[in-house]
Amino acid sequence: MSGDRSYRPETLAVHLGLAPDAETGAVVPPLHLATTFERDADGTYPRGFVYARPDNPNRAQLERALALLEGGREAAAFASGSAAAAAVLRSVPAGGHAIVPDDQYHGLRTLLERVLVPAGLQVSVVDMSDLDAVAAAVRPTTRLVWVETPSNPLLKITDVAGVVRVARDAEARHGAPIAVALDATWTPPPWQPAFGLGVDLVVHATTKYLAGHSDVLGGAVVAAPDARSVGDVWERVRDVQRLEGGVPSPFDAWLTLRGLRTLAVRLAAQADGAAALVAFLVAHPGVAQVLYPGLPGHPGHAVAARQMASFGAMLSFRVHGGVEAAMRVAAGVRLFTRATSLGGVESLIEHRASIEPAGGPTPPDLLRVSVGLEHPDDLIEDLREALAAPLGDRP
Ligand X SMILES: *Cc1c(COP(=O)(O)O)cnc(C)c1O
Binding footprint of ligand X, residue count (CB under 6 A): 17
Q: Using CA atoms, how far apart are residues 135 and 162, in angstroms rounded to an integer?
A: 10
In one letter, which amino acid is 391? L
Q: Of residues 159, 183, 252, 365, which has the active-site annotation?
A: 183
Q: Using CA atoms, how far apart are residues 231 and 93, in angstroms rounded to an integer?
A: 10
Tell whether residue 217 is a contact of ligand X (CB under 6 A): yes
Q: Of residues 59, 90, 156, 208, which has the active-site annotation?
A: 208
Binding mask 158-197 for ligand X (x = CB under 6 A): -------------------------x-xx-----------
- Whose CB is nearest to ligand X? 81
Binding mask 124-163 for ligand X (x = CB under 6 A): ------------------------x---x-----------
Known catalytic residue at 183: yes
Stretch that binds ligand X, among 36-44, 76-84, 231-239, 385-393 (CB under 6 A): 76-84
Residue 18 vs 348, nearer CB to ligand X:
348
Report the nearest approach of ligand X to the CB of residue 183 (Å). 5
Tell whether residue 80 is a contact of ligand X (CB under 6 A): yes
Residue 223 vs 348, nearer CB to ligand X:
348
Report the nearest approach of ligand X to the CB of residue 186 (Å). 6
Give the residue, chosen from 82, 129, 214, 307, that forms a contact with ligand X under the rule CB under 6 A. 82
CA distances from 306 to 151, 276, 365 (A): 17, 22, 30
Known catalytic residue at 232: no
Residue 69 vs 380, nearer CB to ligand X:
69
Stretch that binds ligand X, among 74-82, 190-198, 244-252, 383-391 (CB under 6 A): 74-82
Give the residue, chosen from 18, 100, 105, 300, that forms a contact with ligand X under the rule CB under 6 A. 105
Known catalytic residue at 208: yes
Residue 15 vs 213, nearer CB to ligand X:
213
Tell whether residue 208 is a contact of ligand X (CB under 6 A): yes
Q: Using CA atoms, how far apart are residues 372 and 228, in angstroms rounded to an integer?
A: 38
The residues binding ligand X (CB under 6 A) are: 80-82, 85, 105, 107-108, 148, 152, 183, 185-186, 205, 207-208, 217, 219
Tell me which residues are annotated as active site: 53, 105, 183, 208
